[in-house]
Amino acid sequence: MKKTFFKSLPLALLLLISSCTGSRSITKDSNSASNSKSVNAALNYVRSVAQNGPKANAMTAKIKAELNMQGKSYSCGGSLRMKRDEVVQLSLTLLGFEVARAEFSPNDVLIIDRYNRRYVKAQYDDVDFLRQAGLNFYSLQALFWNELFVPGQQNMGDAAGRFKVASAGDHTLLTLDDMPKLNYDFLTITSSRLIDRLSVEGKQPSDRGNLVWRYSQFAKFSNSQFPCRMEINVKGTDAPDSGLTLTLSNLKADANWESHTTLSSKYTQMDAKKLLKNLFNR
């Protein structure tokens, strides 16, 4: 049991990074065209969502992580630390010791398996599933900051007009469907302009993957609202179905910590695909 737990944590981090291959979890209103706001109102709404994120340049939080994979559930502690446009660090701990870490930087992704002293480090274009999804550091950063984004861009810029806007009860659906292979649906809470859920779906009927990233339990942080619960679920891919729930507490706008991890020579670098295959076969 203990060995399986340690193996599962770094595997989950790899799976969640590779999960953006498709989704079909949001059902759009068939009358969305008639329910859409005027062009100016729609643009203003998208811009208000884009500008509604936290104003802090750094954040630290304690987390409780709940992992569900292959019909089994695991829980552990950890931390989430972020510096805007510089790094996102997700650390998972057990009994006070770090067992796995994911570090996203503008140039590369680093996944560390402390238990087995091995790691994966790659540039975004070197990782097939990130390149195909058009995701870079700034897209992944936006996911953790609960922000609206356009894959491949550092910021929203003048991209508000690329989103289709449709009413959905107490929510408003923002759809980005002009990407080459995937559609991105941001379900927002109309009254607060907060992102409630992100869904990503493939454009082809043969696309069978499913990624849903949900946000809830919003609390005040840096003159805005930040989700203290994030649920990431991956289904229908070549890898086993998996889910990771992060419950955040003790949020602080703290930048007094090391931005990047330095590994000793005791760690062995592995290819992401080889590491996944190795973990699955054990």
Q: How large is the average pLDDT for residues 163-186?
A: 91
Q: Are 96 and 281 in contact (CB under 8 A)?
A: no
d(CA 19, CA 56): 28
The contacts of residue 182 (CB under 8 Å, 6+ apart) are 20, 22, 133, 134, 151, 200, 201, 202, 203
d(CA 156, CA 126): 24
Residue 6 has a pLDDT of 43
d(CA 113, CA 97): 12
Q: Are 49 and 188 in contact (CB under 8 A)?
A: yes
Distance of CA 105 to the CA centre of its chain: 14
| Closest alpha carbon to 42 in 175, 189, 163 | 163
Q: Provide the 10 A C-beta neighbour count for residue 85.
A: 12
Instruction: Give per-residue pLDDT as tens, 53-73.
Output: 888 999 999 999 998 877 778
d(CA 143, CA 26): 18
What is the domain range of residue 189?
2-281
Number of domains in the chain: 1
Lowest mean pLDDT among 32-36, 186-190, 219-223: 32-36
Instruction: Give per-residue pLDDT as tens, 183-198.
Output: 899 999 999 999 999 9
Q: 163 falls in which pLDDT band (50, 70, 90)? A: very high
Number of H helices, E strands in the chain: 6, 14
Structure tokens at 207: 């696309």
Is pLDDT of 242 > 70? Answer: yes
Give Cα separations from 19 to 9, 16, 176, 233 (angstroms): 15, 5, 18, 9
Q: How large is the average pLDDT for residues 167-183?
A: 90
Most confident of 51-55, 88-92, 231-235, 269-273: 88-92
Question: For the domain that residue 266 is a member of, what is the CATH number?
Answer: 2.50.20.10
Report which of residues 33 and 39 the model is more confident about.
Answer: 39
